[in-house]
Amino acid sequence: VANLHKKELNFKYVVIGDFGVGKTSIIQRYTDGEFSSSYKVTIGADFAVKTLEWDEELRIHLHLWDIAGHERFGTLTGIFYRHSVGAALVFDLTRPETFKSTLKWLTDLRNKVHLPGGQPIPTILLANKGDVTTNTLPNDIDVFCKENQIMAWYITSAKDNVHIDDAMIRLTHAALRNH
Ligand code: GDP
Ligand code: MG
């Protein structure tokens, strides 16, 4: 029997990182279950929704915001970040320079959005394209996360659908604690 009184929550997550690291692919994989090997550059801020039947009483709609073509500026408008309660910071294991950029994205994020109490929003780090290589995984990644208040990191693959669900669930547990 459907629970007609299920509580509904909407959580906005931003997905950030350099051009080509796989942000759009991760969002599409998570929300549509699909992967395409062609580049899709859309201009403007886009979002896609994933609905989680969290438990008997709760349904959560995750709004995953994609920066969609604005990566080159390295900084985003405050409107993009506004009201977000979680962030996925993505880099590309096939291009180690994209890991260097994560600090720049993190700085932009932390400058532009906070929880109502002033704390940083929960953030996860995704080392994407793990299906291609993991040899390039930075060996200081644990230290980096600790120093920068990143709650967890995952090796992901949008292509093979690896660890994307786990990462989003982890982020959602944190978002729920702050709710
Ligand atoms: P964005 O610019 O960060 O949104 O990156 P895209 O999602 O457009 O991906 C850039 C390119 O990398 C595309 O050709 C994707 O098909 C490819 N790509 C994305 N994720 C993966 C992945 O996990 N593995 C592999 N092998 N390719 C990926
Ligand atoms: Mg994109």
Q: What is the DSSP letter of 43?
A: -
User: Is the beta carbon of 49 within 6 A of some atom in ligand 1?
Assistant: no
In the predicted structure, residue 177 carries a pLDDT above the cut 90:
yes
What Cα–Cα distance (Å) separates residue 130 from each residue in 65, 126, 141, 155? Answer: 22, 10, 15, 6
Task: Answer for the pair 52, 172: CB distance below 8 angstroms, yes or no.
Answer: yes
- pLDDT-based confidence at 73, cuts 50/70/90? confident
State how far the Cα of 72 lies from the Cα of 30, in Å rounded to an integer.
24
Beta bridge partners of 89: 16, 125
Atom of ligand 1 minimally distant from the CA of 71: 2
Q: Residue 175: its pLDDT value, please? A: 98
Q: Please tell me the pTM assigned to this model.
A: 0.94
Ligand 2 center–CA 179 separation, angstroms:
29
ipTM above threshold 0.85: yes
State phi, psi for 138 to the nearest 5 degrees: -60, 135
Give tens-digit pLDDT for 115-124: 999 999 999 9
Q: Residue 44: its pLDDT value, please? A: 55
Task: Answer for the pair 156, 130: CB distance below 8 angstroms, yes or no.
Answer: yes
Q: Residue 160: its pLDDT value, please? A: 98
